[in-house]
Structure 1
């Protein structure tokens, strides 16, 4: 077993990070923040919008802001993160602000989606009420004699 991690961070269109000499990776999922060291057990987890940190062999700390993704750890050495969007940077405060903006945008999108779902539901109920209104053809077909005109 190696004393280093191989870290790969990809988007659908690019490889953002391909680091063969990382000795620690720090990430965050819905359960909280966690670290990965060489020899870590296999893992599969979903990452929300967050900042990934890793330390390379030379002691430098690197950062990548993610717009959510999927992280796997295999064989205690291979750490792979597939994300929708990512930004590499050295300014942690700036990247954390970017993540907060991503989270706010996701929250706004979720709110808009809920509002639209409520509108569609209300429209469907109104249509059903209109259809089932007494006296409307089709609503009380069973009470009309066969062949009778409304």
Structure 2
């Protein structure tokens, strides 16, 4: 096991909290729910960072982070009420790999030029696109499985 770099972990937690609270604002949550969004984002990014530091794949680390955010949102069902799953979603949105998606789009645009450079551009674009799709699927499954297994009859 690799030692934990606490400053890197705190950095990820802080910016995960800021990004998740920002998505909570976009989802039109109240001020009290924004704090829960920030906590979910900090938790999700911490868990994903710990997984990546242990040399897990991005998809596996994102899945475990989404599961942990979803379980915590369901454990705090009483203060969150019916918006618990939405809070978990807002906490997981900062884990979407935007840089990979940008590279996939740029690779797809490079393929459409009149004289594409080589086949490596196509393969790289497909690789990045697949990583984005698998990571999104892992986050979605990580959010859905605990929400389904821990659902309450009042929802």
Question: When the two structures are superposed, what TM-score results if normalisation uses the length of structure 2?
Answer: 0.24
From the CA coordinates, give the structure whose radius of gyration is larger.
Answer: 1
Question: When the two structures are superposed, what TM-score results if normalisation uses the length of structure 1?
Answer: 0.24
Higher RCO by CA contacts (8 Å cutoff, separation 6 or greater): 2
Q: Identify the structure with the greater helix proportion.
A: 2
